Structure 1
Amino acid sequence: MLNFFSTHFAWRRPAARFWVLLSFMALAASRAFAYDVTVAQDGTGNYTTVAAAIAAAPTGRTTVYSIFIKNGVYREKISIPATKPFIQLEGESVANTILTYTDGASTIVGGVALGTQNSASFSVNANDFSALNLTFENSFGDGSQAVAVLVNADRAVFKNCRFLGNQDTLYVKGSGAPMHYFRDCYIDGNVDFIFGSSIDIFDRCVIYAKSRSTNGASYITAANTPPGQAFGFIFHDAKIPSNTGATLYYLGRPWQNSTGSVPLTQNKVVLIKPTLGFNQIQPAGWTTWDAGTDTNIITYAEFRPRYFSGRNVNVSQRVTWSRQLAVADTAQYQTSTVFGTWNPCAVAPSVCTAFTPAIAVSNFRATKGATQTTLDWNISWAMAGIRYDLLRSTDNVNFSQINTVTAANDSTYNFQMTDALPAAGNVYYYKVQASKAGLATHTTLTATVSSIATIVANTTALGTFAQYQTGASATQTYSLSATNLTANLTVTPPAGYEVSANGGTNWYTNTTPLVLTPTANTVAATTISVRLNATAAGTYAGNIVHTSTAATTQNVAVTGSKVNTAAPVSDPLKWWSLKVSDQDSAAIRSAATTASTPILRRFVLSNGTTVTAYPARSTRYGQAFAATADGLWSASAPTNGPGSNVDRRFYEQFTITAGANRSVRIDSVLLWSAFYNTTGKLAVVYSKSNFTTDSTDVTGGRGPAGVLPATANGAFATPIALANQNTGTNQTYRFALNNALGTTLTAGQTLTVRLYFACASSSSGRYALLKDVVLKGQATTVTATRVALHGMALSVYPNPSAGQTTIELLGSSKPATLTVLNALGQVVHTQAVAAGAAQLNTTKLAPGVYLVRVSTADGTLSQQLVRE
């Protein structure tokens, strides 16, 4: 630095030297303290996480509060609260300062799916937010809506930022008519990846519509511009390059201008002088959402679209209800006209200044094929002269160059190379290093290709196995697969258990394990059936062990028991199909029960007109209902609906009553349920007193994905998450009462079952769907049981029992002993029987099936007792 000053200044007077040095020190100090706080993962800043810096930021600011973020991958779910306006985030570099998280709309948290809005990796809820030189990412992948950035506020500015995702990458909305400005940004995705209701200008941005795994069409924008709002999405000088596959895109489709939406949105998307990749956009340009779309209220327009070659785009096949603008039409879409008094360029000195793109590689991935690996990526801002070096390592430490290519122009965005697969038992690590003179080099994160033997046992926890006096237990299943194997895959169950790979045709044991032979070093996904088939009564626990040479052993835990008693009976007692009427099926109804119809409490059936495909009743979906007939759930919760959490005032109620001189044990509730056009929750609770003195949760069960987790098992505090039937599979659930031991009704008693539904949606046309509600268990014709021997008779009543049970031994005056044995044959209680009768206090017994044995000198009589 001294050499610099000696060259440019005359050091003739000490005073001159002093003031120059002082000025330089002031400049250095101003740069050192240019930000309010700094975030650095290595501890060199004020905070190590972005969330911590935001949490400490002041509320109610009226000027910018700046947070500088040093390079790093920050894996955080971040939200700017509404009370903290004027926060400005600035990254050290757009390529290397990455804010990322992995939630999808389908991600289950607290027993319910997050939904689209709550999936956001980064949420802005405060006005006057700005971000510079940052990458925002949602790394969930395909298969669900997964928002990278949610802007739910007014006057937000993004400069030189990247938005990385797949479906629903960027969600823009807010109260009133919020405005947002994106300048020199890169946005990618593969379905509706720029969507929302606000007024947004995208100035000189790259919009990269990614290749999908299957051929076909997809959509870039999904604006749901509210009625009466003058503008929606406006793109100035956008670049929409071709992708690497066969996915053709529509420029937009009209979200909520569709069947069931009230009111219809008036979607607005305009592109001014866009540059398009050849054959990247469908010739029609735009599309409707469905048959309910009103194209008369849509504004979809373009002005002078051209290809990267400079040739004009042929727009002759565009849909007739879109527009090609004239020069005079474009004036209304200029930034100053759209935003009025708000000037986004004033947010930071660099927002609207000349832009020199950074080198930033996006979507680097390695795809393993049959004989080679394909490595591909795209550049965020294309430039001629960028050199791409493909680097490879076997230890993820020492990398060497194995290939290189240099971009010949500024319109090539996609690059691809190949490499031989690693030998069996090895792994390759890859990076791409992109460089150009005068610009900072960008080295990507690592992509991995493995040939290491790997076993994958996909299973939620298997349920407890129960084997009774005869036969094996019920079968449970899990999925098993393996890759890169160099030897057979052996599946060894613990003693007492058996496994099968062909649905039970052949069973294998601990001494003769199942052996699977790989094809091309791979065992394709295989369903493994498991059952307990022990020879002696007892408890059986252990692991199913999966082994293969050089592969890490994988275990699946199993537990269960064999008892020398008959299996309990569980038959359908009542069935409500709900497809035609509320009445339960007389053909299915047990003779021990009476007819009944369900009651909707604060719910009403669909009006059948808001969404014609989902009427009040149908064969496919059964009953469709909501808090209002037009499908509202929480527009003014709790007045018009339960909102996002189950509420004891909103339910559907089913009852079962034991008939005269009959006894009924109910052990489970089965049903099919889902939601239309949204997701929701369901809890199942039952009572013997019509909820006046008791209320009991179901105790878990199974759903479409297997055993229900404790965090979403259908209890009131832990409801299950019901899927969106638009995209979900059929949703069948089985809930246990009292751990499947059930609850018993004596003659005239009624069990009331309530199904509580909830939904967070505030739009109409959302319905809960319910059909095939079944109550299962066992009906008996007597309330006491009696056996006889040598003129003696033994009666046990009431049976089942919940308290005191009477034991009567008739026809004998000799001393007798009462013995109670559990299902494992163990003695749990003994007492004397005086005067031919005794009172057995069953409250000291755990719920279950027991054997009551009364012995005298003349013989022994035994009777089964159910403790409910």
Structure 2
Amino acid sequence: MPSHHRVRPPLSRRGFLTAATAAAAALASEPAWATTGSGPRPFGRHGSPTARLTPKTLYVHPAGRGDFTSVQAAVTAVDGGGWTLVIAPGTYRETVAVNTTRTDMTWIGAGDDPRAVVIVYDNAAGTPKPGGGTYGTTGSATTLVQADGFTAHRVTFANDWLRADHPGVSGTQAVALKVQGDRSAFHHCRFLGHQDTLYADTMALGVFARQYFAHCHVEGDVDFVFGRATAVYEHCHFRTLTRTDLASAPYGFVFAPSTAGTNPRGYLVTRGRVTSEAPDAFYKLARPWVPSSDPTAHPSLTVRDTHLGPGIDAVAPYTNMSDSFPWQDQRFAEYRNTGPGAVVTVPGNRPQLTAEQAASATRTAYLGDWRPWKRGD
């Protein structure tokens, strides 16, 4: 984990509940709750500090000052939909799974910053499982969300598995979050990993899932934002990491969408920024993922109104994952991007939307009648 991560001193039970109530009440006042078509209104404005915010609110505290000491224990305890978890500052070293029956669940980090609430584990695709075999990419996920209507505020999702610590493991995919549900929203969250950090996907081929990420931070190296979902990334920061195991470019790829061919829209990145701690031009912006399970996939990615730093290869920002599915045959496009990584030096290497086409590349077009954003975003 980053050395600057700090956890606040433990609060008393009353102190934690008071802080959690205050944090929750602040979120309750945001227009997002009033404009979202579904999901709970989790927080009232009255009641004593130790009172439940709603009958479906649970408190998670690592030192036992809430209802549960682990996030998974709280998830397991709930029955049906509409529950809210208020999670105290701390590092929760565990894997968490939210299955399809736990719909319209909300997680709220009770700290002022997403760095205060960290859910982290260290499985990789090649990590041996206790019963034999390995976890695979999906099984490596620290947090798996399959339920519809999931929302998270100010939480860090991390996978701290490192290649250097496991030189004999070839399956280096290590997912921090895999999210498959429709109407999944993440506000002011962080996603930390290396390869395959954020897996924005769907439950199955032919099943569509809309996802929204606002004011989030995502970091990694290889294909660290990938999957089949219809996802909007707004005001997000994508950070590419340096690598000590490679001596030459490319170090990796930011996006690897695997959009189903029947889905008109895949990933939309808007009003964001891409920075790097690696040498200039050592990263590609994207490559298309056409998985063996869906050879008809037609990956879709639009990056618009986004600052691309010098870490992105401006001459050739896209490349192939497989020569059988060249990136030029996919749905990759840009519009009004800025920064040294956005300079168009070879026009054929970076397709640009026209103004007319850009008018249809909006969050509303991608997400339809679902409105998860706040006023002013």
TM-score range, shorter chain: 0.7 to 0.9
Q: Could you tell me how far 1:171 is from its partner in structure 2?
A: 0.7
- What pairs up with 1:54-203 in 2 under 5 angstroms? 54-59=75-80, 61=81, 64-93=82-111, 94-109=114-129, 110-142=131-163, 144-174=172-202, 175=204, 176-203=207-234
CA distance in 1, matches of 2:347, 2:282: 14
Q: Name the SS of the counterpart of 1:333 in structure 2.
A: coil
Q: Distance in 2 between matches of 1:261 and 1:140?
A: 26
Map 1:761-800; keep pairs closer than 5 Å: none
**In structure 2, what is the Cα distance between the partners aligned to 1:336 and 1:250?**
28
Does the residue aligned with 1:328 lie in a helix, a strand or coil?
helix
Cα distance in 2 for residues equivalent to 1:332 and 1:278: 28
Contact persistence 2:268–2:363 (CA under 8 A): no
TM-score (norm 1): 0.35
Tell me, in whole angstroms, the C-alpha distance in 1 between the residues paired with 2:99 and 2:61. Answer: 22
C-alpha separation in 1, matches of 2:179 and 2:316: 30
- CA contact under 8 A between 1:284 and 1:319: conserved in structure 2? no
CA shift in 2, pair 1:256/1:98, >3 Å: same
CA distance in 2, matches of 1:278, 1:113: 37
Q: Following superposition of structure 1 onto structure 2, how do residues 276-315 of structure 1 map, counting pairs within 5 Å?
A: 276-295=308-327, 297-307=329-339, 313-315=342-344
Alignment of 1:44 with 2:101, yes or no, is no
Structure 1 SS opposite 2:84: strand
Following superposition of structure 1 onto structure 2, how do residues 244-283 of structure 1 map, counting pairs within 5 Å? Answer: 244-245=278-279, 248-256=282-290, 263-283=295-315
Give the conservation status (yes or no) of the 8 Å contact 1:216–1:246.
no
Distance 1:312 1:265, change over 3 A: closer
Structure 2: distance between partners of 1:312 and 1:289: 21
Shift of 1:272: 1.0
Letter in 2 for 1:281: D
Partner of 1:233: 267
1:24-72 Cα deviation digits (max 9, x unpaired): x97353895336011001211111111110011121x2xx311000000
Q: CA deviation at 1:313?
A: 3.3
CA distance in structure 2 between the partners assigned to 1:26 and 1:185 by the alignment: 27
Query: 2:25 is matched with which residue?
Result: none
Give how far 1:87 is off: 1.0
Structural mapping, 1:659-670, within 5 Å: none
Report matched runs for 1:438-453 at 5 Å: none
Instruction: Measure the CA separation in 2 of the matches of 1:335 and 1:169.
Output: 23
Residue 343 (1) aligns with residue 371 (2): yes
Aligned partner of 1:196: which letter?
A: G
Cα distance in 1 between the residues matched to 2:45 and 2:255: 48
Distance 1:181 1:300, change over 3 A: same
Q: Distance in 1 between matches of 2:196 and 2:185?
A: 19
For 1:247 and 1:313, locate their aligned partners in 2 and report how far apart those are by CA, in whole Å: 11
The alpha-carbon deviation at position 126 of structure 1 amounts to 0.7
- When you count strand as a share of all residues, which structure comes out higher? 1
Shift of residue 279, structure 1, vs aligned partner: 4.4
Tell me how far apart the structure 2 counterparts of residues 295 and 216 of structure 1 sit (CA, whole Å). Answer: 18
Partners of 2:92 and 2:293 in 1: how far apart? 38
Does structure 2 conserve the Cα–Cα contact (< 8 Å) formed by 1:37 and 1:68?
Answer: yes
Tell me, in whole angstroms, the C-alpha distance in 2 between the residues paired with 1:338 and 1:26.
34
Structure-2 change in CA distance of 1:291 and 1:341 (3 Å): same
SS in 1 for 2:97: strand
Larger Rg: 1
Q: Which amino acid aligns with 1:228?
A: T
Q: Name the structure 1 match of 2:352.
A: 324
Closer, same or farther in 2 for the Cα pair 1:103/1:193, shift >3 Å? same
Distance 1:71 1:249 in 2: 34
Q: Please name the residue that 1:525 is paired with.
A: none
Structure 1 residue 336, shift from structure 2 partner: 1.5
| SS of residue paired to 1:256 | coil
Alignment: residue pair count: 316
Match of 1:29 in 2: 48
Greater RCO (CA < 8 Å, at least 6 residues apart) = 2
SS at the partner of 2:223?
coil
TM-score by length of 2: 0.79
Is this contact kept in 2: 1:157–1:180, CA < 8 A? yes
Report the counterpart of residue 782 of structure 1 in structure 2. Answer: none
1:278 Cα shift? 2.2
Tell me the alpha carbon deviations over residues 301-327 of structure 1, each in whole angstroms, 9 at most, x when there is no partner.
Answer: 1111111xxx7932122544x421122
Structure 2 gap ranges (5+):
1-43, 164-169
Amino acid of the residue matched to residue 300 of structure 2?
A: K
